[in-house]
Structure 1
Amino acid sequence: MTTRTTGLGNRVRKVQRALVVALFALLAIGFGASPAQAHATLEGTDPPTGSIVDPAPTVVTMNFSERVTPVKGRIKVIAPDGANVVQGEPTTVNGGARVRIPLKSGLADGTYLVSYRVISADGHPVSGGYTFSSRVPSALGAKASEVNSGTASASVDNGVRGVQSVSRYVAYAGLVLLTGPLVIVLGLWPRRLATAGPRRVAWIGWGLLAAGTLGVLVMQAPYADGGTLADVSVSGIGEAIDETVGRALLIRLALLVAAIPVLIRVLRPAAKGGDAPGWAGPVDRVLVGVLGVALLITFPFAGHAGQSPAPIVSVPAITLHVGSMAVWLGGLVVLAFYLLPRAKYRELEVILPVWSRWAFWAVGALVFSGAIETFLEIGGFRGIDRLVNTTYGQLVLTKVIWLGAIMVVAANARAWINRRFGVPVAYAFAAEDAETPPKEATKSEKSEKSAATTKTAAKTAAKTAAKKTTTKAAAKKAKEPEPESADFSASGRASDEVRRLRSRVAIEVALGAVVLALATALVQVAPARSADDAAAAAAALPYSAQVDLGPNVLQIDLPARIGRNELHLTLFDKNGLPVKVEEWSGSAELAKANVSTDVVALPLTENHAVGQVELPIAGDWKFVFTARTSDIDQYSVEKTITIR
């Protein structure tokens, strides 16, 4: 028996080590990517992207898919001479979804680059850029590489991303370690057992949750602004608190502070110097429940759910999801490391079936709420393919696989509990078995008892001497404390079975650590619906780019839509000065559809031409543009442009 148990323990330890390695690998993957996922998308601009306007605008407007906050000093409009022509601070209107950028008066002719960085409603940074021209196109005053039409992933310092990711994970782990002991101690803990271990775990969980929340809050400003760890400041924390995510984190910290006296009362020992549980009353339990629900509600508002298409559904779903996860995994931690090794077998006969039922409903709530949130974030039935085609969907599927592995182990443990113990009828709160009240005797029983009393009286004197000799030994034995180790009265087989159950629970906890890592990653990436929204928004914006054409620079502006497109071509030298073009020509071809057309561009100025091109089919069209600048100098460039 010992050999078999030792072998099982070795295998369990190997599995746990492998899971720890997998966990850190997942975390490393999450920290390694420096760009942040864009959540808000740029849906339109005024002046339009790539347009030529006259007169020069006094305000630039950008329309986003959701509420955004401009990052101070990170919104610029660069003139052809390289100067920033923004006057004053950008403002937001239309519920924060529209950004207005005031410009200096008397803008010079030429092409302007609008560069921006904003914070989306769920706290993630979004950056991008586009161009427009005032009266006459020109070379950009900024590097062509700075042009990033539409919405793009904003760069984030690796150190900032790493600290924030670790902080989110620590906060989830802290919630698990705080919830589990409270649920078990208030609902299932035997009065006989000391609560020093669960109390210690609960306070560790409180500390981890507070530290993780504070870490995310402190990192929010450099995360959004594109700063480094050296940019952490009190003013940055103040700026973060102005946003929904920052306010949710601040409220969570306030709730944790308010919970301190309640936790002290609930987790206190029964008497001074003792270690037995003090046992909370009804009011204490209500306070724990109210504070717990309020604490859980801060999680959806610090993530995607608060900004989902249906927050009235997603906020309760995420609250239930996080809460059921904390009850399940936290309870498993206490069960594996404190209750199973110390409870008596008769106590486990009552506790385990109750816990099995609680865990079953917690897992059911976890799966149900997770399915609802995933359904919303992928965009309903039409977005089923996004589970495979987006990073968010792939993480969801990975999380489902790991949860499935946990549920297989949990189902095995539940089946063992059901076979062994059946259905419980009471909680194991008593230090000893409750005394069974005596039954009322019948008439016949009373007469028999009277006769037996006469016989017994004769024997009493003989037994008195024998009893005196054992009194001291009995008294000494009664004073000995009842052992806290499990009392397996049936056989050694029962002891071995409970050890196996404990190993299964430990595996569930290790797998749960990986699921927590995946949950952390899901908060960091854009929902699947946002990824498609970004693609659709990019498709709605015109194509605008500058490419090298021989020793010169060619600017191309094209609506890039099916049907008739108005094409603008402008040529400059490397210094941004106009280059006279004697003749323009070009072609467009979609090879897979065997469709091609000539591009005819008529000159408006010596370096600027406009033409009409018919593009009947969507796809990646190959364009060839040719500019003849003299009788002997002619240059061509090939460019693939996606038509939607």
Structure 2
Amino acid sequence: MTVAPRRWLARLAATAGLLVTVVALLIAPATPASAHAVLQSSSPAASSVVPSGPAEVVLTFSESVRKVPGKIRVIAPDGSRADRGEPSFDDAAVTIPVDPAGERGTYLVSFRVISADSHPVSGAFTYSVGAPSTPPVDSGDDSRANPVVGNAVKVARFLGYAGLVLLVGPALVLAALWPRRLPRRGPARLAWTGLGVVAVATLADLWLQVPYTAGGGIFEVTGEGFGSVFGSAFGAAHLVRLGLLAAAAFLLRPLLTRPSGRTDAIILAVLGGAALLTWPLAGHPAASPAPAVSVVVDAVHLGSMAVWLGGLLMLAGFLLRQADERELGAILPIWSRWAALAVSALLLAGTVQALIEVATFDALVNTTYGRLLLAKIGLFALVIAVAAYSRQLVRRRTAAQRPVPVRRAVLVELVVTVVVLGLSATLVQTTPARTAVAESSGTQAGLFSTTLSSPLFSLQVELDPAERGNNSMHLYAYGKDDNQPLPVVEWRATAALPSAGIEPIEVPLLPLTDNHAYGDVSLPAAGDWQLKITARTSDIDQATVTATVPIR
């Protein structure tokens, strides 16, 4: 077969792959914008006491969520399952059928769902029927986050970025800057390695997403779990990426072995641009407040990073070692302009990303996401300084005669930028700053609940809303051995804030039942308040317990 028919065959195969990708995109499930959904309310409310058992428990999240098979449970006071049948999902609301004829006492609701940005959201709360009791334990809950899986996901993300760099750098330089006299075998091997690494990382992402969302070990996967992943936007984006990689492979071979035609380069660029979009479509950007902007900006950010770092890799590994003075004199000025354009795109895209994902200065400095972003900005500033030094060498026309300083500067850029890629891989697995702030603000003020023990009794203490100002206090006493309601003859309670010099404040308590007392107390300042509660159960038996309550 001649060269021309081979090229047309490669173009036909690439076009077919692109068409398959477009079809996959069209049939991919549409997902409304959201990110790291937060449980906003429930019915019955968390820590509430209802007179009779409900027929259903309703969870309402801040955004739309998807099901993780078998990971939503309602546990009765005796430890048995109180939920009946499968929960139903309606956008942000999850309805769990419950046996209304269950026993009196405290019920545990545990849940694990998937937010629109593909990350799992889990939690638990209790409610009581009739009167509180010792909360049950969900002994069947095996959905705890596995640290091995979490770290493996970050490694897979990093390998995907690294493979993209190894692929883009050689392809770009061989297409536009590579001297004809130099052999292409080394860069070609690097590009094929990059293609393979991206493919393996994509497959690893798909595999790991099953235990990551469902909980469990790295090999604890099921067919139902895979079906859930493949049916999600995350799975569709990764399958599309694999199709685009397969299509690009047909056009990559002639490009890596000899100078390619303009048509092949354009098709390859289109495939590459479409593949870049699959990264943000499977993560935070697709679930941001402005998804269209975030997806495009993140793709530009990732593509600019791949061009810059991939070009640096080609300079350090091949061109500065193999090209002669005349060739370097022609290549370096062109690369310098490319690098400046890539850096400008990185800065612009990074700024827009930060404004969307962080939004406030408080979120920037007080969240893990914000602090990681600050570290990334600091390292990026260092890389910019080194790149500026390299650009000055090129402008002075000394780099071609003395490439050693440029080579050293490029190596520094490479090392620091690899660290930046590692931070990026961690960032995509971290709760966005805007969501973390919303979560923390939602949990700072709310019900405080704890169980205290003494030799005579077990005491459940609830303080609502656990913030400055007026608070309601509920006290429930139970037998130490049988966990049955324990009658209390007399209640006494005080609240003090030693750090602010506030002496103990007497809390007037009103007995509502034999074992339940209620009182109102005004807490004028924020801090760690010390509660001291005394319960007398007979003429001679009494005990005192203490608790530290954080008031915001």
Q: TM-score, normalising length from structure 1?
A: 0.76
Aligned CA distance change for structure 1 residues 159 and 113 (closer, same or farther; 3 Å): same
- Residues 465-496 of structure 1 show CA distances to partners (whole Å, capped at 9, x for unaligned) of xxxxxxxxxxxxxxxxxxxxxxxxxxxx965x
Alignment match, 1:498: 403
What secondary structure sits across from 1:231 in the alignment? Answer: coil
Q: 1:44 aligned to 2:41?
A: yes
CA separation in 2, counterparts of 1:555 and 1:215?
46
Name the CA distance, whole Å, in 2 between partners of 1:162 and 1:618: 37
**1:241-287 deviation per Cα after TM superposition (whole angstroms, max 9, x unaligned):** 233323222221222122221222433x3xxxxxxx1x222321221
Deviation digits for residues 341-400 of structure 1 (CA, Å, limit 9, x no counterpart): 222322222211011000011011112211221222222xxx213333222122112112
Give the Cα–Cα distance (whole angstroms) in 2 for the partners of residues 632 and 600 of structure 1. Answer: 22
Contact 1:572 1:578 in 2 (8 A): yes
Q: Separation in 2 of the partners of 1:551 and 1:213?
A: 59
Q: Distance in 1 between matches of 2:362 and 2:469?
A: 29
Code of the residue aligned with 1:214 in structure 2: it is L
CA distance in 1, matches of 2:505, 2:529: 11
Give the letter for the 2:493 counterpart: G
Q: Percent identity?
A: 44
- Read off the aligned partner of 1:527 and give its amino acid letter: P
1:399 counterpart letter in structure 2? K
1:303/1:593 CA distance change after superposition, 3 Å = farther
- Correspondence for 1:204 among 174, 193, 204: 193
Q: Give SS of 2:134's match.
A: coil
Residue of structure 2 in register with 1:538 after alignment = 443
Q: Please point out which of 517, 525, 528 is paired with 1:609.
A: 517
Within 5 Å, which residues of 2 pair with 1:96-245? 97-142=92-137, 155-245=144-234
Q: 1:593 to 1:117 in 2, by over 3 A?
A: farther
Aligned to 1:436: none
Tell me how far apart the structure 2 counterparts of residues 418 and 576 of structure 1 sit (CA, whole Å): 81
How many Å separate the matches in 1 of 2:147 and 2:426? 15
CA shift, 1:618, in A, is 4.1
Equivalents in 2 of 1:141, 1:408: separation in Å? 58
Contact 1:49 1:544 (8 Å CA) reproduced: no
| Contact 1:77–1:86 (CA under 8 A) maintained in structure 2 | yes
Match of 2:245 in 1: 256
> Using the alignment, how far apart are the partners of 1:341 and 1:82 within structure 2?
69
Matched, 1:568 2:479: no
Structure 1 residue 404: deviation in Å? Answer: 2.0
Alignment partner of 1:516 out of 399, 415, 421: 421
The question of whether the paired residues in 2 share the 8 Å contact of 1:129 and 1:146 is answered with no
Report the alpha carbon displacement of residue 562 of structure 1 after superposing the two structures with TM: 4.1
Indicate conservation of the 8 Å contact 2:508/2:520, yes or no: yes
Give the deviation of 1:123 after TM superposition. 2.3
2:530 to 622, 634, 638: 622
* In structure 1, distance between residues paired with 2:201 and 2:503: 58
Match of 1:414 in 2: 391
Maintained 8 Å contact 2:106/2:131 = yes
Match of 1:385, SS?
helix
Q: Distance in 2 between matches of 1:234 and 1:72?
A: 11
1:565-604 alignment, distance < 5 Å: 565-573=471-479, 574-591=481-498, 592=500, 594=502, 597-604=505-512
The SS at the match of 2:507 is: strand
Cα distance, 1:202–1:282 mapped onto 2, change above 3 Å: same
Larger radius of gyration: 1
User: Which runs of structure 2 are paired with 1:396-475 in the superposition (5 Å)?
Assistant: 396-420=373-397
- Aligned mates of 1:168, 1:108 — CA distance in 2: 48
Give yes or no for the alignment of 1:356 onto 2:261.
Answer: no
What's the offset of the Cα at 1:634?
1.0
Match in the other structure for 2:17: none
Distance 2:440 2:542 in 1: 36
Q: State the one-letter code of the partner of 1:220.
A: Q
Specify the alignment match of 2:61 in structure 1: 64
One-letter identity of the residue aligned with 1:300: P
Instruction: Give 1:341's aligned residue.
Output: 321
The amino acid of 2:260's aligned partner reads A
Cα separation, 1, equivalents of 2:459 and 2:231 = 44
- Cα distance in structure 1, aligned partners of 2:254 and 2:88: 49
TM-superposed CA distance for 1:57, in Å, is 1.2
- What letter is aligned with 2:48? S
- Using the alignment, how far apart are the partners of 1:246 and 1:403 within structure 2? 31
Cα distance change, pair 141–348 in 1 and its aligned pair in 2 (3 A): closer
Question: What is the identity, as a one-letter code, of the residue corresponding to 1:565?
Answer: N
Identify the residue that residue 394 of structure 1 maps to in structure 2: 371
Which residue, 85, 89, 94 being the options, matches 1:92? 89
Which residue number corresponds to residue 290 of structure 1? 270
**Higher mean Cα deviation, 203-212 or 340-349?**
340-349
Deviation of 1:202 (Å): 1.0
Correspondence 1:550 to 2:455: yes
Structure 1 unmatched ranges of 5 or more: 1-37, 148-153, 270-276, 422-492
Task: Verify the 8 A CA contact 2:73 2:109 in the aligned structure 1.
Answer: yes
Tell me which of the two structures has the higher relative contact order, counting C-alpha pairs closer than 8 angstroms and 6 or more residues apart: 1
1:293-343 CA deviation, whole Å, 9 max, x = no partner? 111111112221111222232211111110000000001111221222222
Distance in 2 (CA, whole Å) between partners of 1:551 and 1:126 is: 39
Q: What amino acid does structure 2 have at the position aligned with 1:385?
A: D
Are the structure 2 counterparts of residues 494 and 314 from structure 1 closer, same or farther at C-alpha, using a change threshold of 3 Å? closer
Relative to structure 2, which stretch is displaced further, 597-606 or 510-519?
597-606
Preserved CA contact (<8 Å) 2:69 2:225: no
Note the C-alpha offset of 1:83: 1.1
Residue 491 of structure 2 aligns to which amino acid in structure 1? W
Q: In structure 2, what is the Cα distance between the partners aligned to 1:507 and 1:63?
A: 50
Q: How many residue pairs are counted as aligned between the two chains? A: 514
Counterpart AA for 1:59:
E
Q: Which amino acid aligns with 1:570?
A: Y
Distance 2:523 2:408 in 1: 65
- Give the drift of 1:604: 2.3
Cα distance, 1:109–1:233 mapped onto 2, change above 3 Å: closer
User: 1:587-635: per-residue Cα shift (whole Å, max 9, x none)?
Assistant: 2233416375322222222212223333344443322222111111112
Q: Which one-letter code corresponds to 2:433 in the other structure?
A: A
Matching residue's letter, 2:327: E
- Which residue identity lines up with residue 526 of structure 1 in the other structure? T
The answer (yes or no) to whether the contact 1:42–1:534 under 8 Å persists in 2 is no
3-state SS of the aligned residue for 2:131? Answer: coil
Partner deviation per Cα, 1:555-582 (whole Å, 9 max, x = no partner) = 2223224444332211112432111111
The residue correspondences of 1:261-340 to structure 2 (distance < 5 A) are: 261-267=250-256, 269=257, 277=258, 279-340=259-320
Amino acid across the alignment from 2:384: M
Whether contact under 8 Å (1:544, 1:555) holds in the other structure is yes
Task: Quote the Cα distance in structure 2 between the aligned partners of 1:212 and 1:607.
Answer: 59
The letter for the 2-side match of 1:601 is: L
Asked if the contact 2:55–2:100 (Cα under 8 Å) also holds between the matched residues in 1, the reply is yes
The alignment's TM-score, normalised by the length of structure 2, stands at: 0.88
Which amino acid is 2:124 matched to? Answer: G
Residue of structure 2 in register with 1:487 after alignment: none
CA distance in 2, matches of 1:328, 1:637: 63
Match of 1:73 in 2: 70
* 1:642 aligns to 2:550 (yes or no): yes
